[in-house]
């Protein structure tokens, strides 16, 4: 490409961006097709207007950048080369975000970036060659199309008769859409039109416009603050625990074993899927209505060990605060062994739960995937039992990873078929639910074998007489039962409820149906160890054996949390940029409620309690 006059370059940029604007609208329309809750005329009108508004905002910024480039050079190869790079990158990110949104119902965010770029990320992120090839093919096609559009724009369209009216009309129309969208959202937010405001996260980069504060201060309007759910922290310095713990002498200290099976959801404790754990559960307590504290590993493990809401993850990580339970075990002289099939750097458990236990951690087991690492975990633990100082009580944390997508297991554990061990995350959908679910069950069946091996070894050594054993999951796993796949994408029962088996020497077998939570684990174990301090001093849980149970469970995600009771699931934002995006669903089936205002009022007491509790351990 050669030098051209600035007007010719601007014409080429205009046509290039115009074609790509339409392409971006087409790609981003997938968000509307995939978004849950786009029902009714107002929500349909809003999302279509927001689509045009958001896309127009991005392209106005691109137009500004490329217009400045024409001031610096008249070489079309430089200007349009920059245009191709910027727009192709935009499309690449857009396609990637659509893939993430289709599966998980959220956009590229800090959690996704952490998962990709943190040390040990590949242990948690198993994409698969099919997904990579499909995405690569799509991006290659986009790059080829962009080069073609650039050539056509400068070679043909830029030299046609052209008036400023077209540019002016495009600019005015774009600004009109943006202003109308922002004004419409502001009015909807002012009057709590939930059909509109709950859809403010359909598109990435969407910027909300709100005028509630202005209306209250300057127009004297009264608004309904109870409709806007967002956690407001009083500070960032931890006050945890709120006072020292007290303990009475409880005699001989028991050993403690926690076995966490990734993604083990509540309905998988069956003879077909987990026969060894089921057999063991017949001499233990089985909690059938138990909720994890999160819909992701990060928050599930955090709440299990700390006993506080997952919304505290960020301040606890920032301060490197260790959990009270493990601190007290250290003071009592416990021996520790932490063995994980995936790296504990991502999520950052080396900097949170086990921040003071680095010498006792093994998270680099031989092999690259769980099909070799989970067996190595069992062997490593059994070998440690041979070598440890038997005069001291011990705490062991064992984390098995096979049931995490894409569900890894050796061929000899292929019990359920048809299966799919290499899902293509670009194309996977409801049509793939059965083979994906079968692969998941095969992975659980595989891990059950090695959990059984560990339990048999503990029994053979006579340790059942003085060892408390917990077997649970960090979160659940869904296969489109309520329209979602995997975990982190929703707070449905399939993602939030987990299997939970607790063996206490001398307690016997019992099936418990009242609601319990991961938040209850730390208070229960501390009570079993003789601690008399009230749980609210260091936790938001209670004794698992308290028959009163919970009226609701709190389950945390990256920037949202859910309050779940027998009827409603209230999803509320925990970050300010999500304010106004709350929603209420029926717990059974996870469908949006018809009368959200009434549901919120019925849950108001629980909402206020939870919002207060989310800052109680902050100064």
- Count CB-CB contacts under 10 A for residue 577: 13
Residues 260 and 135 in one domain: no
- Whole-angstrom Cα distance, residue 240 to residue 309? 13
Residues 272 and 417 in one domain: yes
Is 554 within the bounds of a domain? no
Residues 273 and 214 in one domain: no
Q: What is the pLDDT of residues 567-593, one digit of tens each?
A: 999 998 887 555 556 789 999 999 999
Residues 103 and 150 in one domain: yes
Contact between 258 and 474 under an 8 Å Cβ cutoff? The reply is no
Mean pLDDT calculated for residue range 595-606:
88
Is 562 within the bounds of a domain? no
Residue 2 pLDDT exceeds 70: no
Mean pLDDT calculated for residue range 137-145:
87
- Residue 225 pLDDT: 46
Contact between 552 and 567 under an 8 Å Cβ cutoff? The reply is no
Residues 309 and 391 in one domain: yes
Q: Confidence class of residue 226 from pLDDT cuts 50, 70 and 90?
A: very low
* Range of weakest confidence among 62-66, 161-165, 407-411: 161-165
Mean pLDDT calculated for residue range 473-500:
95
Residue 223 pLDDT exceeds 60: no
Q: Confidence class of residue 233 from pLDDT cuts 50, 70 and 90?
A: very low
Is 236 within the bounds of a domain? no
Q: Confidence class of residue 21 from pLDDT cuts 50, 70 and 90?
A: very high
Q: Confidence class of residue 236 from pLDDT cuts 50, 70 and 90?
A: low
Residues 57 and 162 in one domain: yes
Nearest Cα neighbor of 115 from 488, 562, 429, 551 is 488
Residues 264 and 343 in one domain: yes
Q: Do the strands 485-486 and 478-479 form a parallel or antiparallel pair, or are they unpaired?
A: antiparallel
Residue 206 pLDDT exceeds 50: yes
Residues 183 and 328 in one domain: no
**This prediction's pTM:** 0.77
Mean pLDDT calculated for residue range 538-552:
95
Domain-terminating residue out of 516, 545, 574: 545
Is 555 within the bounds of a domain? no
Residue 499 pLDDT exceeds 70: yes
Nearest Cα neighbor of 13 from 102, 92, 74 is 74
- Residue 439 pLDDT: 97
* Cα dihedral 56, 61, 67, 68 in deg (nearest 10): 170
Task: Tell me which residue range forms the domain holding 198.
Answer: 6-223
Residues 271 and 206 in one domain: no
Residues 158 and 75 in one domain: yes
Q: Confidence class of residue 595 from pLDDT cuts 50, 70 and 90?
A: confident
- Count CB-CB contacts under 10 A for residue 163: 8
Domain-terminating residue out of 202, 223, 244: 223
Mean pLDDT calculated for residue range 423-434:
82
Residue 418 pLDDT exceeds 80: yes
Whether residue 90 is preceded by a cis peptide bond, meaning omega within 30 degrees of 0, is no
* Range of weakest confidence among 199-213, 295-309, 336-350: 199-213
Is 432 within the bounds of a domain? yes
* Range of weakest confidence among 165-174, 277-286, 518-527: 165-174
Is 37 within the bounds of a domain? yes
- Residue 422 pLDDT: 82
Domain-terminating residue out of 490, 517, 545: 545
Q: Confidence class of residue 178 from pLDDT cuts 50, 70 and 90?
A: very high
Comparison of pLDDT for 424 and 560, the residue scoring more? 560
Average pLDDT along the chain: 88
Q: What is the CATH number of the domain that holds 380?
A: 3.40.720.10
- Residue 227 pLDDT: 43
Angle (CA) 353-557-37 rounded to 5° is 170
Residue 122 pLDDT exceeds 70: no
Is 579 within the bounds of a domain? no
Residues 217 and 261 in one domain: no
Using DSSP's 3-state secondary structure scheme, residue 276 falls into helix
Residues 310 and 387 in one domain: yes
* Range of weakest confidence among 160-169, 376-385, 592-601: 160-169
Report the domain count for the chain: 2
Q: Which residues pair with 478 in a beta bridge?
A: 486
Residue 46, both tokens? 């809003």
Is 322 within the bounds of a domain? yes
- Residue 464 pLDDT: 96
């Amino acid at each position: 490409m050669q030098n051209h006059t600035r007007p010719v370059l601007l014409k080429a940029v205009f046509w290039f961006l115009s074609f790509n604007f339409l392409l971006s609208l087409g790609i981003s329309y997938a968000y509307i097709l995939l978004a849950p809750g786009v029902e009714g005329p107002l929500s349909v009108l809003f999302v279509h207007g927001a689509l045009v508004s958001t896309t127009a905002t991005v392209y106005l910024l691109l137009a500004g950048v490329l217009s400045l480039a024409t001031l610096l050079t008249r070489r079309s190869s430089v200007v349009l080369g920059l245009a191709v790079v910027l727009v192709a990158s935009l499309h690449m990110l857009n396609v990637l975000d659509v893939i993430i949104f289709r599966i998980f119902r959220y956009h590229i965010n800090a959690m996704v970036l952490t998962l990709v770029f943190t040390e040990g990320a590949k242990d948690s992120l198993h994409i698969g060659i099919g997904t990579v090839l499909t995405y690569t093919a799509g991006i290659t096609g986009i790059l080829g199309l962009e080069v073609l559009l650039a050539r056509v724009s400068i070679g043909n369209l830029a030299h046609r008769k052209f008036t400023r009216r077209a540019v002016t009309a495009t600019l005015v129309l774009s600004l009109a859409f943006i202003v109308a969208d922002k004004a419409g959202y502001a009015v909807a937010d002012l009057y709590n039109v939930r059909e509109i405001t709950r859809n403010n996260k359909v598109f990435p980069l969407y910027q909300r416009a709100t005028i509630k504060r202005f209306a209250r201060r300057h127009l004297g309007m009264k608004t309904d603050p109870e409709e806007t759910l967002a956690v407001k922290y009083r500070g960032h310095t931890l006050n945890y625990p709120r006072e020292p713990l007290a303990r009475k002498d409880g005699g001989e200290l028991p050993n403690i074993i926690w076995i966490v099976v990734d993604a083990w959801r509540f309905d998988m404790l069956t003879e077909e899927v987990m026969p060894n754990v089921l057999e063991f559960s017949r001499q233990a307590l089985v909690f059938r209505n138990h909720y994890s504290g999160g819909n992701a590993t990060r928050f599930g493990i955090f709440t299990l060990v700390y006993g506080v809401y997952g919304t505290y993850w960020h301040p606890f990580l920032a301060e490197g605060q260790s959990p009270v339970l493990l601190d007290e075990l250290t003071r009592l002289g416990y021996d520790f062994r932490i063995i994980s099939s995936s790296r504990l750097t991502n999520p950052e458990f080396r900097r949170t739960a086990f921040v003071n236990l680095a010498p006792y951690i093994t998270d680099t087991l031989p092999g690259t995937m769980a099909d070799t690492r989970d067996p190595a975990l069992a062997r490593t633990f059994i070998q440690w039992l041979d070598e440890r100082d038997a005069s001291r009580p011990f705490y062991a944390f064992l984390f098995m990873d096979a049931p995490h997508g894409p569900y890894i297991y050796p061929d000899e554990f292929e019990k359920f078929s048809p299966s799919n061990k290499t899902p293509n995350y670009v194309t996977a959908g409801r049509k793939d639910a059965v083979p994906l679910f079968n692969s998941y069950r095969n992975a659980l069946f595989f891990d059950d074998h090695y959990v059984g091996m560990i339990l048999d070894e503990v029994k053979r050594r006579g340790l059942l007489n003085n060892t408390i054993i917990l077997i649970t999951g960090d979160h659940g796993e869904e296969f489109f039962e309520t329209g979602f796949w995997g975990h982190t994408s929703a707070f449905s029962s399939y993602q939030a409820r987990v299997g939970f088996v607790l063996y206490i020497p001398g307690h016997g077998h019992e099936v418990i149906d009242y609601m319990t939570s991961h938040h209850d684990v730390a208070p229960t174990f501390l009570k079993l160890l003789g601690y008399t301090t009230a749980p609210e001093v260091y936790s938001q849980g209670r004794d698992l054996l308290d028959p009163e149970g919970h009226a609701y469970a709190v389950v945390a995600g990256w920037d949202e949390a859910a309050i779940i009771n027998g009827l409603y699931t209230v999803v509320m934002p925990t970050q300010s940029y999500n304010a106004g995006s709350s929603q209420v669903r029926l717990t059974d089936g996870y469908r949006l409620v018809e009368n959200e205002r009434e549901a919120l009022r019925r849950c108001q007491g629980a909402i206020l309690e939870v919002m207060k509790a989310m800052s109680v351990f902050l100064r």
